[in-house]
Amino acid sequence: MEKFVEQTLLYDFYGELLNEHQRGIYQDIVFNDLSLSEVADEYGISRQGVHDLIKRVNNTLNGYEEKLHLVSKFIETKEKVHEIEQLSDEFIKSNNGSLDNIRSIQLIAKDILDNF
């Protein structure tokens, strides 16, 4: 997964668990694309302090994912829903429709429900 996408997903799922100071700096660096110097000046800390905080936040977010697996479950579910969509399209395109498609959709849906 691309690093920016990964950081975005991790932040979307776990960002609220960070304190306000961490969120502000992380957003400025990752989402607002500010430099370490710009953020350091804005918050009155050193560039090294900003760098260290970003590294700690990334480790914290990755730690939450290792324990909770919310991002990986989200990605898996999204892939399964995409597969259901493809099977449904195939079913609609065929004149008679295939019971195999319906059975596959049922199995995927059951798998999604069983994992939540």
Q: What is the mean pLDDT of residues 45-59?
A: 97
pLDDT tens profile 7-29:
999 999 999 999 999 999 999 99
pLDDT band with cut points at 50, 70 and 90 for residue 92: confident
Q: Write down the mean pLDDT value for the chain.
A: 90
- Contacts of 24-33 with C-beta under 8 Å, sequence gap 24+, read 25/50, 25/53, 25/54, 25/57, 26/53, 26/54, 26/57, 29/54, 30/4, 30/54
